[in-house]
């Protein structure tokens, strides 16, 4: 083989190698069938299109949720900073690639909210969400969760979340969250807010958020 042929062969091999590498990089981190099996499993509790599910124990909406927030909370389950035996078992087997693909998948879902709270509470809930409760040192919810309640980065989406789920979480905050005081996550900011809201205020803001799209 002469020099020109050798150079041509090397060039072709280089192009093929680069193309193969690019294809590898473009390929999904988790096979589609494996990801579908996992998302279908999640939906057995979290409902069709991850819109949430009402039952004896309400299951939260994951659809449209911020990936960073979901990752933080799954890690909190793994480290027992947030208590939930079922979610510990789910979370601790997730690979980093699966975690990334799952949270991206849920972020892209956008089913209609289920609503469900008494609509007569919506005006009071909207006022709390937008203005806070100064007398109780509760800041506007919108200051962290955004004017549309869709959150950002580590701050979760609240729009469309099940009202009964939010009521349960806010009224039992200390029993589930922040179980490792030496290793808190960003949700620790909610502890005094949840503590200072009255039951009626919690129901109002939860109702308002449950109807937001």
Per the CB < 8 A criterion, the answer to whether 210 and 162 are in contact is yes
pTM of the full structure: 0.83
Residue 42 is given by DSSP the state H
Q: Is the confidence at residue 46, as pLDDT, over 80?
A: yes
pLDDT tens digits for range 117-132: 899 999 999 999 999 9
pLDDT digits (tens, 9 = 90+) for 158-211: 999 999 999 999 999 888 887 887 887 778 889 999 999 999 999 999 999 999
pLDDT in tens, 132-164: 999 999 999 999 999 999 999 999 999 999 999
Tell me the C-alpha distance between 99 and 3, whole Å.
50
Give the Cβ contact number of residue 31 at 10 Å. 11
Asked if 97 contacts 190 with a C-beta cutoff of 8 angstroms, the reply is: no
pLDDT above 70 (res 12): no
Q: Kindly list the structural domains of the chain, giving each domain's residue range(s) and its CATH number in brackets, ordered by start.
A: 32-210 (1.10.760.10)
C-alpha to C-alpha distance for 117 and 100, rounded to whole angstroms:
33
């Amino acid at each position: 083989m002469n020099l020109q042929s050798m150079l041509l062969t090397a060039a072709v091999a280089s192009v093929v190698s680069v193309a193969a590498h690019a294809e590898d990089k473009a390929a999904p981190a988790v096979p589609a069938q494996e990801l579908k099996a996992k998302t279908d499993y999640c939906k057995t509790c979290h409902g069709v299109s991850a819109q949430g599910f009402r039952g004896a124990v309400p299951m939260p909406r994951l659809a449209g949720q911020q990936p960073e927030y979901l990752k933080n909370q799954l890690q909190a389950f793994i480290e027992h900073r947030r208590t939930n035996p079922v979610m510990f078992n789910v979370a601790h087997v997730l690979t980093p690639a699966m975690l990334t693909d799952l949270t991206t998948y849920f972020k892209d879902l956008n089913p209609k909210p289920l609503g469900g709270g008494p609509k007569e509470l919506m005006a009071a809930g909207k006022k709390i969400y937008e203005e806070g409760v100064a007398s109780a040192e509760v800041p506007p919810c919108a200051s962290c969760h955004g004017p549309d309640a869709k959150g950002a980065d580590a701050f979760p989406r609240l729009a469309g979340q099940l009202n009964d789920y939010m009521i349960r979480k806010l009224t039992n905050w200390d029993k589930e969250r922040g179980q490792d005081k030496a290793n808190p996550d960003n949700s620790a900011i909610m502890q005094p807010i949840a503590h200072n809201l009255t039951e009626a205020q919690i129901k109002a803001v939860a109702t308002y958020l449950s109807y937001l799209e």
